Structure 1
């Protein structure tokens, strides 16, 4: 299980990236929302979409959920 977070700040394409704790691209605490502990990025991205419709996995730490 990993702890997942979503970035409150959108990327230039509008995506809010989902990161695991320990990712070198994890945003500062004030710029992220804790999503929970998950065994993969898929349920974390689903949870992130409750906050931001356009959510996507981080290329580096959640690559299997990175789609754009």
Structure 2
């Protein structure tokens, strides 16, 4: 099932931009975000986010398979 993904335009302390699904508990805390589109997997969403921010990865909470330390 496709889900709507967003990337946080504000970098994390390590410089990466996290990708979130709209249902993520942290989504409401992201005030500066860009809609990436609807995707089947977080891997697809992170690939799309990397077009904008090379250092992108998945949120530990909602995109755990795509999260990197």
Specify the TM-score bucket, using the shorter chain as the normaliser.
Answer: over 0.9
The runs of at least 4 aligned residues of structure 1 exceeding 3 Å deviation read: none
Structure 1 counterpart SS, 2:5: strand
1:56 aligns with 2:57: yes
User: Which residue of the partner structure matches residue 37 of structure 2?
Assistant: 36
Give the total of aligned pairs.
66
How many Å separate the matches in 2 of 1:48 and 1:8?
10
1:22 offset after TM fit, Å?
1.4
Over aligned residue pairs, what C-alpha RMSD do you find?
Answer: 0.6
The unaligned stretches of length 5 or more in structure 1 are none
> Scaled by the length of structure 2, what TM-score is found?
0.93
The unaligned stretches of length 5 or more in structure 2 are none
> Scaled by the length of structure 1, what TM-score is found?
0.94
